[in-house]
Amino acid sequence: MVSQTRATETDEALLDAATQVFSEHGFAGARVDSIARLAKANKAMIYYHFGSKRDLYRAVLLRLFKGVLEEIERVGRNEPDPRRRLILFYAGVARIFSERPALPQIMLREVLSGGAAIDPETTKTLSGILAFVVRAIDQGVKERVIRPAHPLIVHLSALAPLLLFFASQPFRAKVLPSAAPGVPLPTPEQMLEHLALLIERGLEPVGEHEPAAGQPQKERR
């Protein structure tokens, strides 16, 4: 029992250290020596507990995404309205980004690298997130409470501002006071309020006299 507890503590220490190093340097730039040193562990322990640097990276990603998957389950179970469900989900993602700042940093690095270090298991996790958006939009379109929209565009339109907002916090804190004196730093609450409005208005069903996207406006007489 004691050895199992120690093994769990070692796993957590290595994961915490790896999360920090991967978020700062990306998968390619992260060094196993740096992770071991930060975790105050022998480098051999990384290979013993996780097998390889890539397996360690996968474990970091799955641990970071665990909260997002739990948010999908919670919101999907408790909110019947599909548009409101999307708003609550992205609000939950924002909370997770705030609690785990390494997640948006790592996600942005993967986006910029073309997903170079993303493996099939992590891809499967990401597909579960998009599937949640697809289900919400399909339900909303059938119930005529959401306009037809491409689910990936909806997802990117909501996720991209959150990624940039939380990943750029240190940059804003450094640059904004001198670049725009007198402009207060935006709060996460303000960002969420703005995003909720964008989702609410952007997914409003097409009105009776409003043309769908791509259709010409009728001439007024």
* Predicted confidence (pLDDT) per residue in 23-42, tens digit: 999 999 999 999 999 999 99
10 — pLDDT class (breaks 50, 70, 90): confident
Q: Are 47 and 139 in the same domain?
A: no
Q: Are 166 and 75 in the same domain?
A: yes
Q: Is residue 216 included in any domain, yes or no?
A: no
For 105-114, give one letter per residue: b (16+ CB within 10 A) or e: bbbbbbeeee
pLDDT tens readout for residues 137-163: 999 999 999 999 999 999 999 999 999
- pLDDT for the residue 78: 93
Domain extent for 16: 1-51
For 159-187, give one letter per residue: b (16+ CB within 10 A) or e: bebbbebbbebeeeeeeeeeeeeeeeeee
Residue bearing tokens 């009105």: 207
Sign of CA dihedral 216, 217, 218, 221: negative
Q: Is residue 211 included in any domain, yes or no?
A: no
Q: Are 14 and 121 in the same domain?
A: no
pTM equals: 0.84
Say how many domains are in the chain: 2
Q: Is residue 38 included in any domain, yes or no?
A: yes
Greater model confidence, 169 or 220 = 169
Q: Say which amino acid occupies 149.
A: A
- pLDDT for the residue 211: 53
Please report which helix (H) or strand (E) contains residue 178, including its range: helix 169-179
- pLDDT for the residue 206: 76
Q: Is the pLDDT of residue 189 over 80?
A: yes
For every residue of 90-119, DSSP letters joined together read HHHHHHHHHH-THHHHHHHHHHHTTSTT--
pLDDT tens readout for residues 46-102: 999 999 999 999 999 999 999 999 999 999 999 999 999 999 999 999 999 999 999
